[in-house]
C-alpha cells in the first residue's frame, strides 16, 4: 500500500525510520507535529523491544526460551496476547499467535530459504495451537512447548498506539505508515480525504497499485502473498501460515485489505481472512460489518458494499477485474 498524497504545509513534519524489520514513516501536521512523531517513534521502538521474535531480550523471546511451563508478562504484552486469543476464537483459529515454531521453520526472510520436510512440519504443528495458551491476568501457562510469533498483529497494535499519542499532542491530521499498516488521522490539511493506494500484488514496483480508496480517520491493513516470499520450482512460498496445514496458506486470495478504526483488529483479521479465502472471508467480514478489499488469484477485485463509493479502480490495464 502506499500513499498518494502530497501536501506542503509549514507545520508538516515527516520522519522515515526502520524498526520491526520494516521501513516506516509518519507525517503529521500541526504545531506539535515533531514532538508527537518523535514520541511515537520511541513508542514503536519500545514495542519492538517487547514483541520482537528476533531480539534476544524481548519479552516474547524470553517467554519462548522459558524454563518451565509458565511466564509472567508485562501488562502491555499480556493485553495483546488476550486480544489475540479473542481474534483466534473469532476466526476459528485462522489467526494464531502460537505459530512461532512453524514461522521459524518457514524462514521466508532468510537469504537461502528452504522448504521444510513434511516431518519437520508435522513435528512443528504439534507445538502450536492457541488453545494451548492459558491466560490468567499477566500469567500465561503454556500447555506445550509452543513459541509465540506476534508479527501478524503487532504493527496494527503499534498503529493504534501512535494514533493515541498523536491525538494527545493535539494532532488532527497525520498519516502513519508502519510497513504497510496504515492509519490516516483526520483529513488532509486541505480538508479533503486521504488517498491510500492498494498495492498491485503481482508487480514488484513498490508504486504499482490496482486502485485507491479515499478515506479519513481509519486504518488500512493488507496481508498478501507478495510481502515476504520466495519462489522455488515455480511455487510461491509466502509468510502467512495456515495453522491447519503448517504451510503457507493456499487460499484463492493474493491480497486481503481490512479497513477499520481498530488497526489491531484490522491487522489480525487481514491475516486471518487471507487464510480463509474469498468465500469464508467475505462471510466472516459481512457478519462482523467490517470493510474490505480482496484480490483473488484470478485477479478479481472485491470491495465491500460500504466502501464502493470511496474506491477508485485503476487495475484494468494490469488485468484486474472489478465488477461494481
Residues that bind ligand AMP (CB under 6 A): 95-97, 99, 103, 149, 151-152, 223, 227, 239-241, 243, 267, 270-271, 275
Quick one: which of 80, 191, 182, 97 has its CA closest to 138?
80
- Does 91 bind Mg ion (CB under 5 A)? Our answer is no
Quick one: which of 117, 259, 257 has its CA closest to 184?
259
CB-nearer residue toward Mg ion: 152 or 246: 152
CA distance 201 to 20: 22
- Does 96 bind Mg ion (CB under 5 A)? Our answer is no
Residues of span 270-299 touching Mg ion by CB under 5 A: 270-271
Which range, of 24-32, 116-124, 149-157, 231-239, touches Mg ion by CB under 5 A? 149-157
Least distance from ligand AMP to the Cβ atom of residue 248, Å: 9
CB-nearer residue toward ligand AMP: 129 or 193: 129
CA distance 139 to 158: 23
Residue 93's binding partner among ligand AMP, Mg ion, none (Cβ under 5 to 8 angstroms by kind) is none
Residue 197's binding partner among Mg ion, ligand AMP, none (Cβ under 5 to 8 angstroms by kind) is none
CB-nearer residue toward ligand AMP: 152 or 277: 152
CA distance 176 to 200: 20
Chain centroid to CA 304: 19
96, 160, 200, 267: which one contacts Mg ion (CB under 5 A)? 267
Which range, of 59-67, 146-154, 192-200, 291-299, touches Mg ion by CB under 5 A? 146-154
* Beta-strand pair 253-260/235-238: unpaired
Residues that bind Mg ion (CB under 5 A): 152, 267, 270-271
Amino acid at each position: 500500500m502506499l500513499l498518494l498524497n502530497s501536501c506542503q504545509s509549514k507545520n508538516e513534519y515527516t520522519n522515515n525510520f526502520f524498526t520491526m524489520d520494516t521501513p516506516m514513516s509518519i507525517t503529521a501536521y500541526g504545531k506539535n507535529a515533531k514532538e508527537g512523531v518523535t514520541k511515537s517513534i520511541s513508542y514503536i521502538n519500545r514495542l519492538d523491544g517487547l514483541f520482537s521474535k528476533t531480539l534476544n531480550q524481548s519479552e516474547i523471546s524470553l517467554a519462548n526460551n522459558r524454563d518451565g511451563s509458565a511466564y509472567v508478562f508485562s501488562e502491555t504484552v499480556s493485553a495483546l496476547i488476550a486480544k489475540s486469543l479473542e481474534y483466534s476464537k473469532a476466526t476459528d483459529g485462522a489467526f494464531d499467535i502460537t505459530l512461532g515454531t512453524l514461522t521459524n521453520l518457514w524462514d521466508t526472510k532468510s537469504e537461502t530459504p528452504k522448504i521444510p520436510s513434511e516431518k519437520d512440519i508435522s513435528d512443528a504443528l504439534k507445538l502450536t495451537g492457541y488453545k494451548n495458551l492459558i491466560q490468567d491476568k499477566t500469567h500465561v501457562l503454556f500447555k506445550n512447548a509452543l513459541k509465540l510469533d506476534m508479527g501478524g498483529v503487532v504493527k496494527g497494535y503499534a498503529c493504534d498506539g501512535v494514533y493515541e499519542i498523536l491525538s494527545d499532542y493535539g494532532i488532527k491530521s497525520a498519516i502513519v505508515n508502519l510497513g504497510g499498516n496504515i492509519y490516516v488521522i483526520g483529513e488532509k490539511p486541505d480538508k479533503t480525504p486521504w488517498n491510500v493506494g492498494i498495492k498491485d500484488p503481482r508487480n514488484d514496483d513498490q508504486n504499482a497499485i490496482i486502485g485507491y480508496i479515499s478515506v479519513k480517520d481509519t486504518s488500512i491493513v493488507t496481508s498478501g502473498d507478495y510481502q515476504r516470499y520466495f519462489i522455488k520450482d515455480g511455487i510461491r512460498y509466502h509468510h502467512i501460515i495456515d495453522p491447519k496445514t503448517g504451510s503457507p496458506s493456499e487460499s484463492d486470495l493474493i491480497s486481503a485489505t481490512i479497513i477499520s478504526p481498530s488497526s489491531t483488529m484490522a491487522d489480525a483479521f487481514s491475516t486471518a481472512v487471507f487464510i480463509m479465502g474469498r468465500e469464508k472471508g467475505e462471510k466472516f467480514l459481512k457478519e462482523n460489518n467490517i470493510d474490505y478489499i480482496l484480490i483473488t488469484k484470478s485477479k478479481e477485485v472485491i470491495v465491500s458494499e460500504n466502501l464502493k463509493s470511496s474506491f477508485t479502480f485503476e487495475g484494468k490495464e494490469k488485468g484486474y477485474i472489478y465488477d461494481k
